[in-house]
Structure 1
């Protein structure tokens, strides 16, 4: 039974705690959270959970196997380093850090210690996007030649407050706080781009970007782009959609539906149109808090620790996503194409 400690009991800390509480292979042993009100709520909910206001006290006093870090972005690198130095498995909410400079020490330490890590790019576990990865890799639509993606929601229409509105603590606006999920998906599907070209608009926020247009540039003939905004009036819920063009067909996928067109007969599919919905692809989970993909993500992380399984979206992968994200910001600032150096 893995003993879990959670750092940060805000929205994401509570979400992961609820999911892990239903996993028979682990137990939430302790929580670190600076808010007395939240800590008292945990004590009322379960008096067996040890509570701490300081995460370093929790690390030094509790015998923990794994730490979930769900704190504000600017605290990620410091906390991850402390946990890895303590020989803990680490789950870290995205992004890895506010920039590559802060992320690199985390990367280097993670490569020296024999501990599992995962960064919370949970969209890989949404059934439609997961099946899309398999369809791309199968080669049924041939060589990929172009993609276009969007991630939009109605969220920000005035100057915000709190750490998310401070670029020194958040790392930026809609790109690092929202679109990194999309960047991770696109890099998972098509590989990491060699260059990016982007532009921002910050109509509502004072210091953060509200809109981002970005082109991904590869060495081969593949081209692609994405648009992301948290200031779209008619998008009550977050919507992500990707259109993928291949030499033998096309894929159109969003959070709920996956459509495939195959031009000529392929290994797995005859020529024609095919469609799947999320309920058709779902295998069900023991608890649904915020979406089945969160449960599937957390369950796999616990399984990966116990069975020593490979985790694709670990700290090294998240560092590469961070490099692309940094390049998107650099391109928007310099108004020029930015090369991503490996």
Structure 2
């Protein structure tokens, strides 16, 4: 008898179960992938809590996926069974103006594997062959699980342009904020200040190379940050994306500076001091996901040792304990929680 194909089903943060589904078969130009390691993303926990503006419950997660090719469908020639791969989960139309210009990360019809489409937090799944990248032979599966979460900060940092010698503020020291810190350091930022409410997260940011880390609720935060940076920040990365963090970003950034919104904002309006934005010529820009170029850069960063995986990966759980993995990912002491698939 064939072994059942297990897949995680999230109805709520308190109702995460394993469903058994038929083993899928790869169609034309598709791969059948056997999962080995899957990350739990902040968007996964937000969705499980019912707070994500673009993911409806119930859903079947798994977009930070490392796996092994189990079979290839008709028309696939570049991925033999046994090839280790990582998933690039943005599923785009290829026809809209954004896709045609190469910015398929903001496709007008974008869907995300593991968010709107059942994902890879399962024993086996299928996906188009053009949505996977090879894992370098020297990279472990656990480190490969950081490629997707790192690609979003890499994309955000690239939006800031040349960072060599410039000053940066990063709001929020969660997984994305810490990886923005790492990407900005690698891009040549001269000084970087990180803010967060928790002592442990600020301490981790300093260990990962922040010039200093300040309490996000400190009175006079802007003045303290300016003192660390030698003046207002050239670029602020808002990895929190709430009313308070946006207000802080405007106070922190220099005239003519740039604010890049990396975190997923809450639904509804967010007040912004447009008088200050206009008077200081502040540029506010959003950033969404990544492209293949960002994946390649992420792979290079991890391979080079620029990312301290031991500081980022703080817990692992087996697939059958997915509920515990989600609960752990909500705990502030954790950065990146991984799920490993038994038998791999």
**Shorter chain as normaliser: what TM range?**
0.3 to 0.5
User: Which has the larger share of helix?
Assistant: 1
Give the TM-score of the pair, scaled to structure 2: 0.33
